Amino acid sequence: MKEPQPRAIHLKDYAPPAFRVETVDLDVDIREDHALVRAKLEIRRNAAGPLVLDGDELELVSVALNGKPVPYKVTEDKLTVAEVPDSFTLETVSRIVPQKNTKLEGLYATKHGFVTQCEAEGFRRITWFVDRPDVMARYTTTVRADPKKYPVLLSNGNLIASGEGWAKFEDPFPKPSYLFALVAANLELLREGNLSIYVEPGNLDQAGWAMDCLKRAIAWDEKRFGLKLDLEEYKIVAVGDFNSGAMENKGLNIFNTRYVLARADTATDVDYLNIDRVVAHEYFHNWTGNRVTCRDWFQLSLKEGLTVFRDQEYGADTYSRAVTRIQEVRSLRANQFPEDAGPMKHPVRPQSYQEIRNFYTMTVYEKGAEVVRMQHTLLGEEKFQAGMRLYFERHDGQAVTCDDFVQAMQDASGIDLQQFKRWYDVAGTPVLSCIACTKSSVVTAWPSWRLKYRRIPAWNFSSPSSVCCMRTTSAPFSYTVMV
């Protein structure tokens, strides 16, 4: 029997969702050999057509529309309700088996309990949902588990009620489903004010550095970007079985222990530096990725490229700007340049994909950060910050595109960036020739520089020379670009 061929998804085919979910009331009851998930969704029609929800390895128990049974069709990955009004409440009950979830997406078991990973499409492994980033809803979550085995119960937002074996959380901010998080585990707690770091038993003595990094990142973001911590509680959970490096779920970051735990007698300087940068990166996502998120997965660099740029600037302001920049460029040349020159090259904003997880790449992250850095160089710090403020004023609580970000920069600065947007849509690394031309035979005369593209991507476009040139001395110089 032939395996089904993966279907390509194209950016040009994007359409807004037919239905929007306003609120989600989720009840997750973790039992000995399975979990029972009750979901109550307040849904509003956005376009004509049936209601189609995504699912993956869910055993559907019941479906009700406005409190009454309703006809439906269910397949392995879709739940379809053909006849629905323009505004309604849909309730589903599903059974999942996180104890046997080897995909490590959705809700799955770890050594000391259960955690979630929902980016990019893991939420559909928890309950039936319109599982796409442009559907943003407010969540209320109740977590239930054996209090003796799993005394720590967590989810996004603020704790509003609790009892033995259960806890209820309310997240005041709308978020896409990929930012949903849930934890039920046996963990130890390091707490300072409204900041909490949860670690597995026996590791509490190694969490202090991560707490220092978090406090430093919060202070830096408020000082440099004017972005304050917007939550009553900010929680980090570190477990050794977490499949990703770290995940920026709103208010409940989940980390692999390698990016949280450090002790002077066992960790290297590089370990300490990596923890600092990753903790900062995930915190910075609180605004660039969570408060404003990507409309679709083609816009992944909107949140990742921008947040990498922000954590690079944090590193430069915290340590040595020159050394930090050299390290970043060395990594770019060693890892992203070969990717951009090989068979797997792709634009910062891909035009199609078959599996979105294949695009969590150096190009989307690090080259995406360089595209943001070029805008910062063009505009300067003052106008770039004005563009950031306008970006949040326009799009707070929305799911938007890379073009929306550039447009905010253009409108705030008065600099035409329409042609610049094309940087997001082309693969490859431009290469320049640089020739020094002195206007005098006097040795001390400052040279001018003539730059010429030796290799350029598929189409010609002007690139601001100040973005492409690196001054190696304090000497003034002039230049022209030959395209």
Q: Annotated catalytic sites, by residue? A: 282
Q: What strands lie across the sheet with 478-482, from one edge to the other?
A: 431-437, 448-455, 478-482
What is the C-alpha to C-alpha distance for residues 335 and 358, in angstroms, rounded to an integer? 16
Cβ–Cβ under 8 Å, residues 80 and 70: no
Q: Shortest CA distance to 114 belongs to which of 96, 130, 128, 133?
A: 96
What is the C-alpha to C-alpha distance for residues 172 and 140, in angstroms, rounded to an integer? 9
Q: Is the C-alpha dihedral spanning 335, 337, 343, 345 positive or negative?
A: positive
What is the C-alpha to C-alpha distance for residues 162 and 142, in angstroms, rounded to an integer? 9
Q: Shortest CA distance to 291 belongs to which of 381, 237, 238, 229?
A: 229
Cβ–Cβ under 8 Å, residues 412 and 383: yes
Read off the tokens for 153: 């119960």
Q: What residues contact residue 289 under an 8 Å CB cut-off, 6+ apart? A: 248, 303, 304, 306, 307
Q: Half-sphere exposure of residue 17, counting CA atoms within 13 Å on the CB side?
A: 23
What is the C-alpha to C-alpha distance for residues 22 and 312, in angstroms, rounded to an integer? 35
What is the C-alpha to C-alpha distance for residues 102 and 113, in angstroms, rounded to an integer? 15
Read off the tokens for 397: 């609580």
Q: 465 exposed, middle or buried (CB, 10 Å; 0-12, 13-18, 19+)?
A: middle
DSSP code of residue 129: B
Q: Is the C-alpha dihedral spanning 189, 190, 196, 199 positive or negative?
A: negative
Q: Half-sphere exposure of residue 467, counting CA atoms within 13 Å on the CB side?
A: 18
Instruction: Name the 3-class secondary structure at 215.
Output: helix
Report the 10 Å Cβ neighbour count for 126. Answer: 27
